[in-house]
Amino acid sequence: METTYWQEMAKQVNARINCIKANNTEWENRHEDTIEEMVKELPHGSGLDGEWSFDYEKSTSNKLVLHMSYHAMNENGYYDGWIDFTVTVMGSLMFGHEMKITGNFGKYQDIRDYLYDTI
């Protein structure tokens, strides 16, 4: 069975948590480095112009939480502000994983669909 991107990230989070419990800072740091490298693989550009950040406090082996900002454009093609959003990925027995994207999208609700497709 092939391991997905999200499964591999969850394994790294779980290993990091185990290292914290065992007070093994060397391997805790190694797992954080791996997670940070994986975060760099997430989509960037085409509106995803912010920096991805991984939320270590809220993430577990069953829930991954990441933050990013989308640079919105108005109908005239001019940048119209930033939309901060959160991506939460959770395991699903039926679908492998479920993704939830939350943020204050205001008049740009359609961007949420774009984000689901892109991420």
- Residue 2: pLDDT over 70: no
Q: Which residues are bridge partners to 64 per DSSP? A: 89
The single residue listed with the structure tokens 């959160």 is 86
Residue 17 DSSP code: H
Domain of residue 112 covers 5-118
30-34, 37-41, 59-63, 94-98: least confidently modelled range = 94-98
Enter the pTM of the model.
Answer: 0.90
Q: Tell me the average pLDDT of the chain.
A: 93
- Residue 1: pLDDT over 70: no
Number of structural domains found in the chain: 1
What percentage of the chain has pLDDT greater than the value 90? 82
Nearest Cα to Cα of residue 12 among 33, 35, 29: 35
60-98: per-residue pLDDT in tens? 999 999 999 999 998 898 998 999 999 999 987 677 789
Q: How far apart are CA 105 and CA 108, in angstroms?
A: 5
Q: Sorting pLDDT into bands at 50, 70 and 90, what band is 39?
A: very high
Q: How far apart are CA 30 and CA 24, in angstroms?
A: 10
